[in-house]
A and B are shown apart, each in its own frame.
Chain A
Amino acid sequence: MAILDILILSILVLCALAAVRTRDLLGAVIIYAAYSLLMAIIWLQLGAPDVAITEAALGAGVTTILMIATISKTGRYE
């Protein structure tokens, strides 16, 4: 499982960097949702399934929806 852990962690760091660097805010929100999903898998690997469920429902679901609603009220590009 060490290879899987290394893979997920490196994709996680890539997602975090890309979410900060991208100029398209909608793309940044979608990358952030992918970050949350990977983070949920890592919580499960660390033995915290309760936090994993909350992260998957809140981080990937509700936060993304609220940010997309905010973008639809403002602008897509910074």
Chain B
Amino acid sequence: MQEILILKIVVRFVIPFIQVYGFYVITAGHLSPGGGFAGGTIVAASMVLYALTFDAHQGLEKLSHERASIFESLGAIWYVGLGFLGVLVGGNFLTNGQIGIPLGTPGQLISGGLIPLLSFGIGIKVAVTVVSLYYSLVEED
């Protein structure tokens, strides 16, 4: 079982780098290629890598189906709630500038108003959805 030991140590070393890159793609989504969907799939790939290398049960302990459904719903509610802020102020759904959020200077990390917050919600939802898709596929019943 020497190969499995090497695999586990390498995966333990690599997973934080994949997750940092995924969160970078999410947070810089309004400046560079990427965004919520691509970054969410990268974060999900790191979690699926953990479940592939170790056990699927060990992965399920980290992110059970109940917790996954909570995170998924929070992502969707975050997006729709931020969208309805514009309706509360009197503008359109997902209005950006009118709700008084600071728009920042273009090209900086803090810019674009609502867009980074929205892509953060998309990233959480996509990551948790892909991981729970994998778990529900490999689970024995």
Are B137 and A66 in contact (CB-based, < 8 A)?
yes
Chain B interface residue count, CB cutoff 8 Å, equals 17
Residue of A nearest to B29 (CB): A50
A58 interface contact, C-beta 8 A? yes
Are A65 and B52 in contact (CB-based, < 8 A)?
yes
Q: Please report the C-alpha to C-alpha distance between residue A49 and residue B34 in the assembled complex, in whole angstroms.
A: 8
B11 interface contact, C-beta 8 A? no
Are A73 and B137 in contact (CB-based, < 8 A)?
yes
B132 interface contact, C-beta 8 A? no
Residues of B within 8 A of A52 (CB): 33
Are B137 and A58 in contact (CB-based, < 8 A)?
no
Are B133 and A54 in contact (CB-based, < 8 A)?
no
B23 interface contact, C-beta 8 A? no
Are A57 and B38 in contact (CB-based, < 8 A)?
yes
Task: Tell me the chain B residues, 29-65 only, with Cβ under 8 Å from chain A.
Answer: 33-35, 37-38, 41-42, 44-45, 48, 52
Residues of A within 8 A of B37 (CB): 54
Are A50 and B137 in contact (CB-based, < 8 A)?
no
Which B residues lie at the A interface, using CB under 8 A? 25, 33-35, 37-38, 41-42, 44-45, 48, 52, 130, 133-134, 137-138
